[in-house]
A and B are shown apart, each in its own frame.
Chain A
Amino acid sequence: MATDAVVVKRSAGRRLAGLFHGRRRLQIGSLLAAPMAWLVILYLGSLVVLLITAFWTVNPLSGTVIKEFSLENFEELVNVPVYREIVWRTVRTAILVTFTDAIIAFPIAFYMAKIAGRKTKALLVVAVLMPLWASYLVKIIAWRAILAEHGVLNWALSPLGLHGPGEGVTSVWLVMSYLWLPYMVLPIFAGLERIPDSLISASEDLGAHPLTTFRRVVLPLSFPAVVAGSIFTFSLTLGDYLAPKLVSNEQFIGTSIFDSITNNQPFAAAFALVPIVVVIAYLGVARKLGAFEHV
Chain B
Amino acid sequence: MRLSKRAKIILRACVGLALTFIYIPLLVILVEAFNSSRILKWPPPSFTFHWFGQAVESESAREALVTSIEAGAVAMLIAVVLGTLISLAVGRRHFFGRDTISFLVVLPIALPGIVTGVAFSNTFTQVLGISLSLMTVIIGHATFCIVVVYNNVVARLRRSSGSFEEASADLGADPWQTFRWVTFPSLRSALGAGALLAFALSFDEIIVTNFTIGAGEETLPIWIYHNLFRPKELPIVPAVAVILILLSIIPVYLAHRLSSDDGGLTPGRGAAARASAPAAIAEAEATAAH
Contacts and interface: CB of A to CB of B under 8 A. Distances in A.
Interface string B1-45: 111100110011011011101111110110010000001111100
Contact of B275 (A34, A107, A128, A295): A295
A50 B174 contact: no
A87 to B, nearest CB: 14
A42 B83 CA distance: 15
B268 interface: yes
Contacts of B249: 133
Contact of A138 (B118, B127, B244): B244
B238 to A, nearest CB: 7
Contact of A231 (B18, B89, B278): B278
A43 B108 contact: yes
A49 B126 contact: yes
Interface in A225-244: 228, 231-232, 235-236, 238-242
Interface of B: 1-4, 7-8, 11-12, 14-15, 17-19, 21-26, 28-29, 32, 39-43, 78, 81-83, 85-86, 88-89, 93, 95, 101, 104-105, 107-108, 110-116, 118-123, 125-127, 139, 142-143, 146, 174-177, 200, 204, 206-207, 210-211, 221, 224-225, 228, 237-238, 241, 244-245, 248-249, 252, 265, 267-271, 274-279, 281-282, 285
A223 interface: no
B86 A32 contact: yes
Contact of A144 (B4, B40, B107, B206): B40
A137 interface: yes
A241 B88 contact: no
A39 B274 contact: no
A45 B225 CA distance: 30
Contact of A32 (B89, B120, B175, B281): B89
B281 A132 contact: no
Contacts, number: 283
The 4 closest A-B pairs by CB, nearest first: A239-B112, A292-B282, A107-B14, A142-B25
A136 interface: yes
B181 to A, nearest CB: 13
29 contacts: A14-B174, A17-B176, A31-B85, A32-B86, A35-B82, A35-B146, A42-B139, A46-B116, A49-B127, A65-B126, A115-B11, A130-B22, A132-B270, A133-B269, A135-B204, A137-B225, A141-B224, A145-B29, A146-B28, A150-B42, A151-B40, A154-B42, A239-B111, A240-B113, A240-B114, A242-B206, A242-B207, A292-B278, A295-B275
Interface in A243-287: 246, 254, 257-258, 261, 265, 268-269, 272, 275-276, 279, 283, 286-287
Contact of B241 (A141, A231, A258, A261): A141
B1 A239 contact: no
A267 to B, nearest CB: 11
A111 B238 contact: no
Interface string A5-26: 0000010011011001000100
B174 A46 contact: no
A65 B122 CA distance: 11
A186 interface: yes
B267 A50 contact: no
A27 interface: yes
Interface of A: 10, 13-14, 16-17, 20, 24, 27-28, 31-32, 34-36, 38-40, 42-47, 49-50, 53, 65, 104-105, 107-108, 110-111, 114-115, 124-125, 127-139, 141-146, 148, 150-152, 154-155, 178, 181-183, 186-187, 197, 200, 204, 210, 213, 218, 228, 231-232, 235-236, 238-242, 246, 254, 257-258, 261, 265, 268-269, 272, 275-276, 279, 283, 286-287, 291-293, 295
Contacts of B23: 131
Contacts of A27: 93
Given A148-B40, A210-B1, A178 B248 contact: no
A42 B140 CA distance: 10
A254 B114 contact: yes
A34 B82 contact: yes
A144 B41 CA distance: 11
